[in-house]
Structure 1
Amino acid sequence: MSRNASASTRIRVAAGAAVLITVACTASATALDRSAETRSPGTPREAAALTGSAKLYRPLGDDITFTFDAHLAAEHRMDPAKATGTFRFSHYLDGRGAWAEGRIDCLLTGGKVAVASGVITRTDLPGAQGNRVGFTVHDVGRHDRLGYSWASVGNPVETKDLPKCVSAAPFEKVKNGTGDFRVLPWDPDFLKEG
């Protein structure tokens, strides 16, 4: 390849890279403009969140999985009972067990700890549908912990009159390599400096 052809190729590559960078920057700026339109300056889109899925560690081999997609929108920052989203859990051992899913009705977070509650909308556990259940998650990276409102009574059938956002300490451990829970901390207005 001649010296002029090589220089010409480098110029075309550099020009192409400049076009790609310009397109990427324009797309990023457009996305930022759109996100700014949907919320006021300095306000996050959500005030709190609990998301993720993981299996719990049990030495006997129980297959226990919890999944959360719970959010408190920024406009409801001062009312945790306006949280929305879903939860799902299942517990099986030797082919026997049950599952349940439902809608979130409350979410409080502080630092890396979340307490959420919700009402079971579908399940194969007799007597549990319509009951409120609570969950506590401690998001500590690879070794998250979880608690649930029926820890002291044995199953979600006994939790019908549970108040919103009530659960047990996060005494269970997540099984390594099976998932992760993520907690977005809540920052209520009454804790902000005036």
Structure 2
Amino acid sequence: MPRARHALAAATALTLCASAALTLGATTPATAGPAHVAGKAADEPSLTGFGKLKREPGDNPYFAVDARGFGDKAHGDFYVSHHVGKEWGGHFKGRVDCLLTGGPVAVVTGVVTESEFKGAPGMPDVGDLKGKRFGFTVMDDGKHDRVGYSWAMDGMPKNSVGKCVSSAPFETLEKGDYSVHHWMPPRQSAKP
């Protein structure tokens, strides 16, 4: 049964990554043209894509995200899978609740709706993450994208963060790609 679960988790991760790749192959707001057409602003910021972080052999963390919308009106979903060897690992996924962009950088948060991890001696006990909010930061730098995440300092996700809160994008990708489309609503000038 453990092999079946591991195979199911791997198949789910591959399916989500393939789905994200197909989505990225289509025209996205980042590739559709100028952000402003005839004086109208683009409709919304977005962060889409997937990636495998560059780690030692046998350590396999994957992140997939599809987030669209501005601030706490954002929507979408995310999926994180992390396995170390054949003994420890699992995944969590959830719904996006905030997205902010700044040039090629995006910060997104979401609340976990499903979580499953298998423990192993000497490895962190992740527990149930359902209901917790976590953050992700992506720097879309062409072929050298970077990723950060809110639990960078406490080992594994244990504590929720505020909306649109995460760490600097300190991890590099081994494979995959993210696309950030930056957009901000027009600002009203201050009244005297």
Q: RMSD between aligned alpha carbons?
A: 1.8
The equivalent position to 1:114 in structure 2, one of 106, 109, 125, is 106
Runs of 4+ in 1 over 4 A off after TM superposition: none
Structure 1 unaligned segments of length 5 or more: list them. 1-39
* Structure 1 or 2: more strand by fraction: 2
What's the counterpart of residue 96 of structure 2? 104
Gaps of at least 5 residues in structure 2 are 1-37, 118-126
Aligned to 2:131: 130
1:44 corresponds to: 42
Q: Secondary structure at the match of 1:166?
A: coil
Q: Which amino acid aligns with 2:134?
A: V
Distance in 2 separating the partners of 1:128 and 1:137: 22
**Equivalent residue for 2:181?**
184
1:143 match: 144
What fraction of aligned residue pairs are identical, expressed as a percent?
A: 45
* Equivalent residue, structure 2, for 1:13: none
Cα deviation, residue 191, structure 1: 8.0
1:190 deviates by 1.8
Tell me the SS of whatever aligns to 1:102. strand
| Deviations 1:31-78 (CA, angstroms, capped at 9, x unpaired) | xxxxxxxxx972423x20000011010024311110010000xxxx5x
Q: Distance in 2 between matches of 1:87 and 1:169?
A: 18
Give yes or no for contact 2:144–2:173 (8 Å, CA) kept in 1.
Answer: yes
Q: Which has the higher helix share?
A: 1
Aligned residues: 142
Does the alignment pair 1:86 with 2:84?
no
* TM-score, normalising length: structure 2: 0.70
One-letter identity of the residue aligned with 1:153:
D
1:93-142 deviations in Å (ceiling 9; x for gaps): 11121200000000000000000000000110422111000000000011
Q: Which amino acid aligns with 2:76?
A: G
Asked if 1 retains the 8 angstrom alpha-carbon contact of 2:52 and 2:60, the reply is yes
Q: State the structure with more CA Rg.
A: 1
> Using the alignment, how far apart are the partners of 2:153 and 2:51 within structure 1?
22
Aligned to 2:156: 155
